[in-house]
């Protein structure tokens, strides 16, 4: 006999026990419970009533075995020292539940997804993968491709076989540059995140291009690793520069770095934004703290998750839908960390 002798009193209901109690077939119960239109209203009512009364919960694992769909989405989170990913996760939990999908938390952190973890994708028959930031290892990507598991990257444009949803980082970078130009700034610096990530690259590109359009070049480009500490180190470097070579506007490509920059500048005796303006990107909640008040581009997190799940569900069970990359426009949030023009342009 298979099956562990779970606790004795624990006689859990199944479609079979329900069917017996009602004097119908198991298949009828199964159909009734999932609203198959062929079942008579009367029968369905009876089945639903008994199921509710007994607190019946279908065994999803058995269902998966028979149907091929687990309702499981693998979630892989980027470095969660960046609150942006935490907000993304929170939103994903809420929206996945609303769509009757469950999240299998595969990975959280800066590192790559380990090959061993990738096995889990197969073992648990996940219907799809939601990846934030960390690139899938090529091993994991191959597994997904071979087994036809759709992959959606959030906040990252994919190199591999995958769909993606992201904020339009290029436009956002442009918006920030335009804002700073309007504020009369002249000497610019940028603090990159991970210099390989599409996110960081695009933001920088938009920013630099807009400046270039106005005849401005700059070469102060530092890598900050998308961490507070990285931003802080960069800020300290700027604070220690001779006054005449200091930038008067700094773009940190992630709010969390911008916060580090602000702290370092202030500790160095530099006023923000009076001496130097600082702008960030992401729109994390902490950026609004009064000690920072970071001017930023707010990523549309709810919409990103929603569209991301759309992309995913559209590809579950078929291999005919081609990969797709969706860019959503972020919103400029004006706060106190950046000087504004005396007369704000529209």
Partner DNA sequence: TTGAAAGCGTTACCAG
Partner DNA sequence: CTGGTAACGCTTTCAA
Nearest distance from C-beta of residue 69 to DNA, angstroms: 8
Binding of DNA by 12 (CB under 7 A): yes
Q: Which residues contact 146 (CB under 8 A, 6 or more apart)?
A: none
Q: Are 229 and 260 in contact (CB under 8 A)?
A: yes
Nearest distance from C-beta of residue 129 to DNA, angstroms: 20
Binders in 307-326 for its own copies, by CB under 8 A? 317, 319
Binders in 8-37 for its own copies, by CB under 8 A? 10, 12
The residues facing 298 across adjacent strands are 282, 331
Binders in 128-147 for its own copies, by CB under 8 A? 146-147
Binding mask 44-83 for its own copies (x = CB under 8 A): -------------xxxxxx-xxxxxxx----x----xx-x
3-state secondary structure of 82: coil
Q: Which stretch binds DNA (CB under 7 A): 27-35, 90-98, 289-297, 336-344?
A: 27-35
Q: Are 311 and 152 in contact (CB under 8 A)?
A: yes
Binding of its own copies by 302 (CB under 8 A): no
d(C-alpha 84, C-alpha 284), whole Å: 6
Nearest to 279 by CA among 340, 238, 225: 340
d(C-alpha 330, C-alpha 175), whole Å: 10
Q: Which residues contact 56 (CB under 8 A, 6 or more apart)?
A: 13, 18, 50
Q: Are 138 and 161 in contact (CB under 8 A)?
A: no
Binding of DNA by 33 (CB under 7 A): yes
Q: Which stretch binds DNA (CB under 7 A): 59-67, 76-84, 89-97, 193-201?
A: 59-67
Q: Are 206 and 172 in contact (CB under 8 A)?
A: yes
d(C-alpha 56, C-alpha 23), whole Å: 17
What Cα–Cα distance (Å) separates residue 12 from each residue in 9, 73, 253, 300? 9, 27, 53, 44
Binding of DNA by 186 (CB under 7 A): no
Binding of DNA by 67 (CB under 7 A): yes
Among 45, 54, 59, 119, binds DNA (CB under 7 A): 59
User: Which residue ranges make up the site for DNA (CB under 7 A)?
Assistant: 1-4, 12, 14-16, 23-28, 30-31, 33-34, 37-40, 42-43, 58-59, 62-63, 65-67
User: Which residue ranges make up the site for its own copies (CB under 8 A)?
Assistant: 2-4, 6-7, 10, 12, 57-62, 64-70, 75, 80-81, 83, 86, 89-90, 93-94, 97, 102-109, 116-117, 119-120, 122-125, 146-148, 228, 232, 259-260, 263-264, 266-267, 285-286, 289-291, 317, 319
């Amino acid at each position: 006999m298979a099956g562990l002798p779970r606790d004795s009193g624990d006689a859990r209901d199944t479609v079979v026990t329900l069917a017996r109690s009602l004097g119908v077939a198991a298949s009828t119960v199964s159909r009734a419970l999932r609203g198959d239109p062929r079942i008579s209203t009367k029968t369905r009512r009876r089945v639903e009533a008994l199921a509710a009364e007994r607190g019946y919960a279908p065994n999803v694992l058995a269902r998966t075995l028979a149907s091929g769909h687990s309702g499981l989405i693998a979630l892989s989170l980027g470095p969660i020292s960046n609150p942006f990913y935490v907000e993304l996760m929170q939103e994903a939990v809420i929206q996945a539940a609303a769509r009757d999908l469950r999240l299998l938390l595969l990975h959280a952190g800066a590192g790559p997804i380990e090959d061993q973890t990738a096995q889990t994708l197969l073992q648990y028959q996940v219907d799809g993968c939601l990846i934030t930031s960390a690139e899938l290892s090529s091993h994991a990507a191959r597994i997904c491709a071979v087994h036809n598991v759709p992959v959606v990257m959030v906040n990252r444009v994919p190199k591999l076989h995958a769909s993606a949803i992201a904020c339009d980082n290029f436009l956002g970078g442009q918006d920030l540059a335009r804002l700073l130009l309007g504020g009369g700034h002249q000497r610019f610096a940028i603090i990159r995140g991970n210099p390989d990530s599409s996110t960081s690259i695009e933001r920088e590109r938009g920013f630099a291009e807009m400046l270039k359009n106005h005849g401005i070049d700059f070469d102060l480009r530092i890598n900050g690793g998308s961490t507070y500490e990285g931003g802080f180190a960069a800020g300290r470097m700027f604070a220690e520069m001779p006054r005449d070579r200091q930038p008067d506007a700094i773009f940190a490509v992630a709010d969390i770095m911008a916060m580090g920059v602000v702290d370092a500048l202030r500790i160095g005796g530099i006023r923000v934004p009076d001496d130097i303006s600082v702008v960030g990107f992401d729109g994390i909640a902490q950026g609004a703290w009064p000690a920072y008040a970071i001017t930023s581009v707010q990523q549309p997190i709810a919409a990103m998750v929603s569209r991301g799940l759309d992309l995913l569900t559209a590809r579950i069970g078929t291999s005919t839908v081609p990969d797709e990359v969706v860019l959503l426009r972020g919103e400029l949030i004006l706060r106190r960390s950046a000087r504004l023009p005396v007369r704000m342009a529209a």
